[in-house]
Structure 1
Amino acid sequence: MNPPDFIRQYVQRFAVMSDEEALDIAAHLQRKEYTKNEWILRAGEIEHYLYFIEKGLVRRFFERNGEDITDNFFFDGNPGCAYASFVTQKPSRENIIAMENTVIWRMHHRDFEALCDKYRSFEHFTRLVGQWLYVLNHERVCSFLYDTPEERYEKLLKERPRIFERVPLYHVATYLGITRETLSRIRSKRK
C-alpha cells in the first residue's frame, strides 16, 4: 500500500482531507520494517516518531523490578507511539517492540508539528485522535478501578477477539493486570 492510500484511509475515519493535503502529509511519512522482537523504542529514549501500523503487531510496555507490564498492543491499522514522550519530547518510560514482522509508516515530530500548523484538517485529525486516545486510556484506568479481572477479560475479547491468536498469554495477562495463572483459570471457566 502506498502512503497516500494508507494515510487517507486512516485519516478519513476521523476527518476530511483533500487530495493535495493527503499527498503532502504522505510525503512526510517514512516506511520502516521491523522484524519480530526488534526494538522500536527503549525506555529512556525520546520518542521522535508517530507510527501508523500498516501490517503487524507492536507491544508497548513498562519494566518494573525485572518484570514487564504491557500497556498496549498496536495492531494493523492502528496509530502508536510512546505518546507522552512524543508530545513532550522528553525521555520515555515505555518500551516498544515488534511482536511480529511489522511494517509501519512513521512521521517525525517536527513534521507532525509543521503539518498541524499548515493544515487545519490535519490539526483537526490529530486533535480527534488525541481525544479518542484519551478516552480509551480513561476507560482502561476505570476498568482497573471498577471491573473484575473476568470483566476485563470479556471486554478484551469483545474489543479484540483475535488477540489470543497473535499475542502470548503472559503478555495478555500483564495487559489485564493479572497473573498468567489467573488468566488460565478465567479462560478455563469460560469454556
Structure 2
Amino acid sequence: MEKIREYFQKEVQITDEDWKIFSSKLKKREFGSQQIILPLGKVENHLSFIETGMVRYYIPGEENESTFGFSFENEFMSAYDSFLTQSPSIYQIETLSPTLLWQLTYYDLQEVYANTSIGNVLGRFAAEGLFLKKSKRELSLLNESATERYLNLFKDRPALIRQIPLKYIASYIGITPQALSRIRKQIS
C-alpha cells in the first residue's frame, strides 16, 4: 500500500489524515496469471493500482481478439469508461502475470472525494494517467508505422514488454502476428 502513497507523493503532499481515510478504503486483491479481472458485459466497480504484475485490455472475439492496452506495476488500471458511467464494459481485462492490486470501489472513491481535501486531486491524477496512456496509443496508431509502434513499446518498460506474448503485441500495434514476425526479422 505504501507504493500508492509514494506514487502520489511524487506529485502532491498527502496529509496523514487524508491518507488514513483514503487507505482505509483500499482492498487488496491477488490474481494468478491469465485470470479475468473484469469480464465482458460487467460494470467496472473498481479503480485499481497495480503493485505487482501486468494486465491487458482486449475485446474478445471468436476468431480474433483485439488487444488495445496494457497496464503495468505502479500504474492505475480500470475499464475507466465503465467505471465513470457505471455501465457494462464492452471489453475485458485479464492478468498477464501474477498480479497484486489495491482496489477502490466507485462509491468509496466518491466518499474520498467528499471527505478529504486531497480526494479530487488524487482522482484527477489517476484519471489523467489513464487518459494520457490512451491518447498516446491513439496518436501512435495515426502517426507511426507498425515498425515504429513496435520499437516504441520498448522505450518505457522493455523488460515487461518482453514478457507479453507476441500475438498480444501484434494485436496492440494493429498488425497480424505474421507481419510482426517480419518486422522482428528486419530489425534484428
TM-score (norm: length of structure 2): 0.93
State the alpha-carbon separation in 2 of the partners of residues 132 and 36 from structure 1: 24
Task: Give matches, 1:57-136, under 5 Å.
Answer: 57-64=54-61, 66-136=63-133
Counterparts in 2 of 1:132 and 1:40: CA distance versus 1, 3 Å: closer
**Residue aligning to 2:20:** 23
Q: CA RMSD in A?
A: 1.5
Contact 1:7/1:22 (8 A) holds in 2? no
Tell me, yes or no, if the aligned pair for 2:18 and 2:117 is still in contact at 8 Å. Answer: no
Query: Relative to structure 2, which stretch is displaced further, 40-49 or 71-80?
Result: 71-80
The answer to whether the 8 A contact 1:60-1:96 is kept is: yes
Q: How far apart in 2 are the matches of 1:135 and 1:99?
A: 22
TM-score by structure 1 length? Answer: 0.92
Give the counterpart letter for 1:185 in structure 2.
Answer: R
Aligned residues: 188
Residue number in structure 2 paired with 1:50? 47
Structure 1 gaps, min length 5: none
CA deviations on 1:6-43 (whole Å, 9 max, x unpaired) are: 32112123322112211221110000111112111111
Which residue is equivalent to 1:37? 34
How many Å apart are 1:91 and its aligned residue? 0.2
Distance, in Å, in 1 between the alignment partners of 2:55 and 2:133 is: 17
**Which one of the candidate residues 165, 172, 176 is aligned to 2:173?**
176
CA distance in 2, matches of 1:144, 1:125: 29
Q: Please state how far the C-alpha of 1:147 moved relative to its aligned partner.
A: 0.9
Contact 1:46 1:86 in 2 (8 A): yes
- Percent of aligned positions that are identical: 31
Cα distance in 2 for residues equivalent to 1:48 and 1:129:
15
| Mapped contact 2:22–2:112 kept (Cα < 8 A) | yes
1:134, CA displacement in angstroms?
2.0
Which residue does 1:137 correspond to in 2?
A: 134
1:65 positional shift: 5.0
Equivalent position of 1:153 in the other structure: 150
- Measure the CA separation in 1 of the matches of 2:136 and 2:183: 21
Comparing 107-116 with 56-65, greater Cα deviation is found at: 56-65
Structure-2 separation of matches of 1:35 and 1:95 = 16
- CA deviation map 1:109-130 (0-9, x unaligned): 1001110122231211221332
CA distance in 1, matches of 2:61, 2:118: 40
Q: Name structure 2 gaps, 5 residues minimum.
A: none
Matched, 1:186 2:154: no
